[in-house]
Chain A
Amino acid sequence: MATLDVNGQKRELDAEPDTPLLWVLREQLGLTGTKYGCGIAQCGACTVHVDGVPTRSCVRPVSSLEPGQKIVTIEGLAPGASHPLQKAWLEMDVPQCGFCQSGMLMAAAALLKAKPRPTDADIDAAMSNICRCGTYNRVRAAIKRAAGLPTTRA
């Protein structure tokens, strides 16, 4: 039995040590907002924060996490979806199918924490998540809006 700190709560779980964090979140803790897309850290749909660091949970074995490490998922990003990014996403109608958007939001939240006024190059580097619907331009604009920057691109 291991213990994880997820969204500010201590959670007990029973999983093989090599189980990826993604599947612990989804299947043991019922936090299905974090998505399975590829299983090999290519698409970013499974992105969560581990001690504030954007982490692709599909390749992070649960045994590599210490009980004191703080894990935040999309469900715990901000109460009532009140994060500036979530507000900007809503105002700009960013999602299409929406399946990748949890990962997009978690990657973007980590970016803004590290770089509150990101450049286009910063956004390109941090946002390597795959969206098959093609919401990239609205994602970019919404990050800028949340950062209080002009939403146009050079």
Chain B
Amino acid sequence: MDTPLGSLSRRGFLGASAAATGLVVGFHVPFAAHAQGAAAPDEVNAWVVIRPDDTVVIRIARSEMGQGTLTGLAQLVAEELDCDWARVTTEYPTPGQNLARNRVWGNFSTGGSRGIRESHDYVRKGGATARLMLVQAAADRWSVPAAECRTAAGVISHGPSGRTLRYGEVADAAARLTPPAEVTLKDPKSWRIAGRSVQRLDTRAKLDGSQVYGMDLKLPGLLNAAIRDCPVFGGRLKSFDAAAIASRPGVRKVVRVGDTAVAVVADTWWRARTALDALPVEWDEGPNASASSAGVAAVLRAGLDAPEAAVGHQVGDAKAALAGASRRVEAVYAYPHQNHATMETMNATVRYTPERCEVWTPTQNGEAALAAAAEAAGLPPAKCEVYKLHLGGGFGRRGAVHDWVRQAVLIAKELPGTPVKLIWSREEDMTHGRYHPVTMCKLQAGLDDKGALTALHLRISGQSILAGVAPQNIKDGKDPVVFQGLNAPGPEASIGYTVPNLLIDHAMRNPSVPPGFWRGVNLNQNAIYLECFIDEVAHAAGQDPLAFRRALMAQHPKHLGVLEAVAERAGWGRPAPKGVFRGLAQTMGFGSYVAACAEVSVSDAGELTIHRIVAATDCGHAVNPQQIEAQVEGSFAYGLSAALYGECTVKNGRIEQTNFDTYPVMKMDRMPRVETIVMPSGGFWGGVGEPTIAVAAPAVLNAIFAAIGKRIRELPLKHHDLRRA
């Protein structure tokens, strides 16, 4: 994918960059030949551009951040278009173009594993509509009925006469036709491009350093900024002594950024950053200056038994059934704050003039970035533009809140006409995240005298993401997203068990640490709570964890299907290798059904080894199985990093972890083998980027219990002694 240069001229850019770097890099300016809002001349429709040389440019509205959506969405369009896959390339339409064209590309938001599952219908229609227009253009040229024409690999053929035309030869004529009102999409069973493990379209540039991430953008006259925001959430910038660093090399300006931050602008980022380190700054630490993790935990613990709670899912009368149960099991679990820790820290480049504000940034939601830029610039969105650059990881950090874009615009406003690139240091990124919400959960189960589960109550206490990010979506004090994976039967994040008396409720408790959508979101902790506790209850009932689950899952065949698949492949019920123990977990979220079986061993010294994971995913339709495998494998790296190490603690109102030395993550040496079963059952569209994360930790925790007889109920694992009980 090419890097857009906005209003800066191609000649000016190449001249400047060649002089500065000695490199020649080919860049393409999309839509440069026409005014914003008008269609490109070779555009068949909004999704498809076909050049005279038969290159097919497929427009992708969602953001590529490693998850493969760029390739998957292109496969869906290409499938319906019947083009030559070898000639497919992609480009991002800009949020400004989407605005000007009445949102012809729909939603740009790339989170919630929604890239494919929420746009498959209209992108396929885009490809199918373009194909019909190309066929009609050929039929018109030949003066034959369109129904006599066929398409394959970018060539239209007229059977009776044997004539052929390439798409590139008729694209111009096709673009002038009126699109058909109705199109019929292919039966997925007949797919030839979608549904296959084609290679990604964006790999090559990632192998030789040529891929331009946000941090890598070069523009003529570019200055660089480093920023420090108040380390205490809710605090403010009191004062700074710009004169103290004014004579340092390269420093151009020291800028107050809103009420809370200060930035140094210099010729290079290294000079900006080192000058910022030397800048005397005073903070007003505000009302949260004494906040601590212990304080947060105490507030959450009180919520576990609070009388007021929002009900998320209720069947029968769980409290009465618990009171009358012949046997009760109870446990309390806890899940900490965590940072996304994308490999590329937050960054944005902004060129501001009083007439126009342009932003180049890696973002999961170009439209939200545009809105943030417009607000900070004080300009209408039509006078702003966002050029999306490749993301060095997203995981939810670059989606809902664009705090770094706001900062970058405020800084660039102080230097009108000069492009300024703001890069966060890792320390800034670690201490100003939008953290995985902190919650606790008290679980109570009632068993009858035969060991059957008659009642289950999950009381969640803790943080609401929506309260921090989109409070307008809180209805009657209830955040519906809190109940992910525990919802009533339905197409999204439903619980996989039938319990005659069930209560799932939430006591909202919001600490000062700002929450965010963190890959997997609330499914992560909810699956740990439910799947570890079900394991506890099975054990208390003296039953095999698979058999105990199976008895509760008769009405949830898709949940059960993935669980049975991993149990079968892993050899559940058959002996494991000596010293190796197994654990199971299943859940449903982001429209898909997932399960895992983990195999672990624990040494006498308490050292955990995760040997093997068997994982299954039923996402309805599988657009690119080898990329689903990549997402499933990656989900274990992300989910097990969280389980083993992931924790951000609060002391004196600020996050204590500042870099990968204090916030370790999984590396190669602890990554288990992962065997992935992709088992699409058809009839629905589920996401794959997130759901598997949620089964990583509980499968491993249940295997640890099998190994050592101890239940780990508070993460991360690094705090626990895993020697046998």
Interface residues of A (CB under 8 A from B): 15-16, 19-20, 23, 26-40, 42-43, 45, 73-75, 77, 81, 86, 89-90, 93-102, 105, 123-125, 127-140, 153
Contacts and interface: CB of A to CB of B under 8 A. Distances in A.
B65 to A, nearest CB: 6
A95 B23 CA distance: 24
19 contacts: A30-B20, A31-B21, A32-B216, A37-B426, A37-B660, A45-B343, A77-B208, A98-B66, A98-B203, A98-B205, A98-B390, A99-B344, A105-B207, A125-B669, A132-B341, A134-B636, A134-B638, A134-B671, A136-B671
A44 to B, nearest CB: 9
Interface residues of B, number: 67
A96 B638 contact: no
Which 5 pairs of residues, A with B, have the shortest CB-CB distance? A33-B209, A30-B21, A134-B637, A97-B66, A99-B392
Contact of B659 (A16, A38, A45, A75): A38
Nearest to B199: A93
A20 B269 CA distance: 12
Interface string B625-638: 01100100111111
A93 B630 contact: yes
A130 B660 contact: yes
A86 B343 contact: no
B68 A74 contact: no
B67 interface: yes
Helix, strand, loop or mixed for chain A's interface? Answer: loop
B574 interface: no
Contacts of A30: 17, 20-23, 218
A105 B206 CA distance: 10
Given A97-B343, A97-B392, A132-B342, A81 B208 contact: yes
Contact of B209 (A100, A102, A124, A130): A102
Contacts of B425: 39
B678 to A, nearest CB: 15
Nearest to B341: A132
Nearest to B426: A38
Given A27-B270, A75-B209, A133-B638, 13 more contacts: A30-B20, A30-B23, A39-B425, A42-B661, A81-B208, A89-B207, A90-B203, A98-B205, A98-B390, A132-B341, A134-B636, A136-B671, A137-B674
Contact of B268 (A23, A35, A153): A23
Identify the interface centre among A43, A99, A130, A139: most chain B CB within 10 Å of its CB. Answer: A99
A130 B667 contact: yes
Contacts of A123: 668
A88 B674 CA distance: 20
Contacts of A100: 343
B578 interface: no
Given A96-B66, A132-B638, A89 B203 contact: yes
Contacts of A43: 343, 660
